Amino acid sequence: MSRQKISEFTAKTVLYPVFKLDFNGLSITAGTPVSVIAKHFGDTNLVLKVDQGVKKRGKLGLVKINLSPKEIPKITQSWAKLGWSNFLVEPVYEHSSTVEHYLSLARSRTGWIINYSQAGGVDIESNWDSITTKLPTKLETFLNTVLIPQLDAHHISFLEMNPIVIRDKKVIPLDMAVEVDSAGTDLPMLPDRLLSESELMVANLDEHTPASLKFRLINPMGKIWMLLSGGGASLVLADEVADLGLGGELANYGEYSGAPTDEDVYSYTKIILKQMLEPTSFQPGPHALIIAGGVANFTDVKKTFGGIIHALNEQANELEKARVKVFVRRGGPNELDGLTAMRTFLSSTNLLGKVYGHDVPLTQVVSDAQEYLS
């Protein structure tokens, strides 16, 4: 049973009522219109944070305070360019840094380990010798009788609040970091790593189509790139790459399925090719692009290949310079027309590796790619 992070927005939504506090935060992305933020907060003075379970946000410049709603989109867009995707906006809680405390609770086999300091805030690590397990009596009573039972109820295994302010007999957590027991909780968990720009772009495409579009960047410097159709076939092909000892060269994993339109596949392919040719991670050729899948039931091979060819054609010169060869295996509706169009295009652009239909084993293209790269 692993401990998984949840967003601060989720944590405060769940736990603020335990502290008898109203939570007025707003979870946003870089695409959230300023009108939505302004409607929610009015002219309130705001704080903006990256909300992806990041430690030391203040030190990393991922917290901005004293903002108006109109200032927020520019900042979130700049953070999005660095790969961040989820943000939390809250009203600023006016206070002096001298009243900031630190409090954390961690579940262990023998019970809860509680750490407390009157010297909380962004410099807590510099004041680590101030940490103690001794709590003010009223705070200890609150934790034991109110907070910890709620942590147990929500399968929360770790809670860090830095800083907290104690005012008017209330504990006010300004920042929260929470980890939950993944086997017991139904709270939404954060992804285990920061998504790349290409992954975020595909995720956005996936949200706006009834089809399924998935992309995971594994090794941006890899020489085997995959544009696959269908979840089952994509797993078989990725496993074959690993079985042939080429796992270290596998650049990505993903699939398109659910009868995407040619426009869907065009946009999806463009993102993958852009990532493939990214100058900061690009390695000298040769490279292999595997376009493959099983025998489709509903996905029109001719239409989807039309979208792929469109995207390939836009980058044909760069792909040739990178010594990319394309290896294709596909079956399904309009298979012959789609394969013919693909073979004709690849031959005309010097990108042709191999093109197969459903009569050839699915994994043959991986063997062909291995031979080309060797």
Residue 191 is predicted with a pLDDT of 58
Cα 298 to the chain's mean position, in Å? Answer: 29
Residue 365 is predicted with a pLDDT of 97
Residue 188 is predicted with a pLDDT of 62
Low-confidence ranges of the chain (pLDDT < 70): 1-2, 182-194, 231
Residue 358 is predicted with a pLDDT of 94
Residue 32 CB contacts under 8 Å (≥ 6 apart), including other chains: 73, 76
Residue 334 is predicted with a pLDDT of 94
| Count of residues making up the chain | 374
pTM of the predicted structure, to 2 decimals: 0.54
Name the nearest CA neighbour of 345 among 293, 294, 307.
Answer: 307
Beta bridge partners of 126: none
Domains of the chain and CATH, by start: 23-91 (3.30.1490.20), 97-181 (3.30.470.20), 197-373 (3.40.50.261)
Residue 80 is predicted with a pLDDT of 81
Tens digits of residue pLDDT in 67-110: 999 999 999 988 887 778 889 999 999 888 888 899 999 988 88
